[in-house]
């Protein structure tokens, strides 16, 4: 594995989950591996979990991690090729990525979508420019289209929790929000669950269908109550419209999930940050159905498994 920007194969994903679970048992198992290596965590958007968990993961492997909030502390970046830079952008991605590539052994990038330019967002233009111009392995810390480190931690959390031999019923449920949010988390969640051979049902209001490349093979159920009634895991997340890109079509009914709609033993998941009592009710977040703290904790070991795999490939 050179770059980690999406789900690749079932066997790679399973290997990463196993490795993450092993690092959770023994975080310092490979504490010397990265001792002469440096990772740059480059943020174009805010973060709590991704930023801190990836720093801890790097430290557990003996690496130095430097965080750079490039959107606030760097020069304004130009991503277009061949333009005359006579407006407010002071530095081109060609120089920025190439210089950062010369400073670091691995680069990790967070670049949210515009939610206005669908083509650019779906092509993950920013992350691909970092790959092209840095010439270093790149890890996605959430791109326009996907959030693979989150999904790896989510798959690990499901694996740790589900002890039955039968397959769990997994539901991805749209939830209300006040803003237009990206599709990266639900896209990746669908990509990873289906890629690992799980059964997935997606419930969302009309107009909020996700891109089919991610959801092919999932059952779509517009009636949320029906979809969640017998679910073992309900992954709750808001996203804006994909087809009417970045818009917020009017929603009928109350999509805020209630504890009584779920069966006993069902688990609730969310990537965080969550808006309490808008996206998810206190009774669910604070109750025993919540896997949310486990998911957040597992972000460390998901990142550690990914960095371990990239470093192991660099050396061979």
Ligand X SMILES: NC(=O)OP(=O)(O)O
Q: Which residues are annotated as a binding site for carbamoyl phosphate?
A: 47-50, 75, 110, 147-150, 271-272, 299
The DSSP secondary structure of 231-289, one letter per residue, reads -SEEEEE----TTTTT------S--S--GGGS-TT-EEE--S---BTTTB-HHHHSSTT
Q: Residue of minimal CB distance from ligand X? A: 50
Residue 191: which of 228, 223, 143 has the closest Cα? 143
Question: What residue numbers does the annotated binding site for N(2)-succinyl-L-ornithine cover?
Answer: 142, 177, 237, 275
Q: How far is Cα of residue 83 from the mean position of the Cα atoms in its chain?
A: 32
Q: Per rule CB under 6 A, is residue 123 in the interface with ligand X?
A: no
Least distance (Å) between residue 50 CB and ligand X: 3
Contact at 8 Å (CB) between 314 and 105?
A: yes
x/- track of binding to ligand X for residues 238-277 (CB under 6 A) = ---------------------------------xxx----
Nearer CB in complex with ligand X: 227/302: 302
Sites for ligand X among residues 65-104 (CB under 6 A): none
Nearer CB in complex with ligand SUO: 136/147: 147
Report the residue from 72, 119, 179, 250 that binds ligand SUO according to the rule CB under 6 A: 179
Nearer CB in complex with ligand SUO: 129/295: 295
Partner touching 194 among ligand SUO, ligand X, none, CB below 5 to 8 Å by kind: none
Binding range to ligand X, per CB under 6 A, among 45-53, 114-122, 160-168, 225-233 = 45-53
Size of the site for ligand X (CB under 6 A): 10
Sites for ligand SUO among residues 256-295 (CB under 6 A): 271, 273, 275
Task: Point out which residues bind ligand SUO (CB under 6 A).
Answer: 142, 179, 181-182, 184-185, 271, 273, 275
Residues near ligand X (CB under 6 A)? 47-51, 142, 150, 271-273
């Amino acid at each position: 594995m050179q770059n980690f920007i999406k789900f690749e194969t079932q066997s790679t994903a399973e290997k990463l989950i196993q490795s993450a679970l092993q690092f959770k048992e023994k975080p310092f198992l490979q504490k010397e591996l990265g001792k002469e290596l440096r990772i740059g965590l480059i943020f174009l958007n805010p973060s709590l979990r991704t930023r801190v968990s990836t720093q801890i993961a790097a430290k557990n492997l003996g690496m130095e991690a430097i965080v750079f909030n490039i959107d606030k502390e760097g020069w304004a970046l130009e991503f277009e090729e061949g333009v005359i830079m006579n407006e407010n952008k002071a530095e081109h991605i060609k120089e920025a990525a190439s210089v950062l590539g010369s400073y670091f052994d691995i680069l990790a990038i967070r670049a949210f979508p515009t939610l206005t330019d669908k083509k650019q967002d779906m092509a993950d233009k920013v992350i691909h420019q970092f790959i092209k111009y840095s010439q270093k392995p790149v890890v996605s810390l959430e791109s326009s289209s996907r959030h693979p480190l989150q999904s790896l931690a989510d798959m690990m959390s499901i694996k740790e929790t589900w002890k039955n031999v039968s397959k769990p019923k997994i539901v991805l449920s749209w939830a209300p929000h006040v803003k237009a949010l990206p599709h990266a988390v639900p896209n990746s969640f669908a990509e990873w669950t289906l890629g690992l051979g799980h059964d997935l049902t997606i419930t969302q209001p009309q107009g909020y269908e996700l891109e089919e490349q991610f959801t092919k093979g999932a059952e779509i159920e517009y009636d949320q109550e029906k979809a969640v009634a017998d679910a073992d895991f309900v992954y709750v997340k808001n996203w804006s419209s994909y087809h009417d890109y970045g818009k917020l079509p009017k929603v009928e009914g109350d999509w805020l999930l209630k504890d009584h709609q779920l069966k006993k033993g069902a688990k609730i998941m969310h990537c965080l940050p969550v808006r309490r009592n808008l996206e998810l009710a206190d009774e669910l977040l604070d109750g025993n159905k919540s896997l949310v703290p486990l998911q957040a904790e597992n972000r460390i070991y998901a990142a550690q498994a990914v960095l371990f795999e990239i470093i192991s490939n660099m050396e061979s």
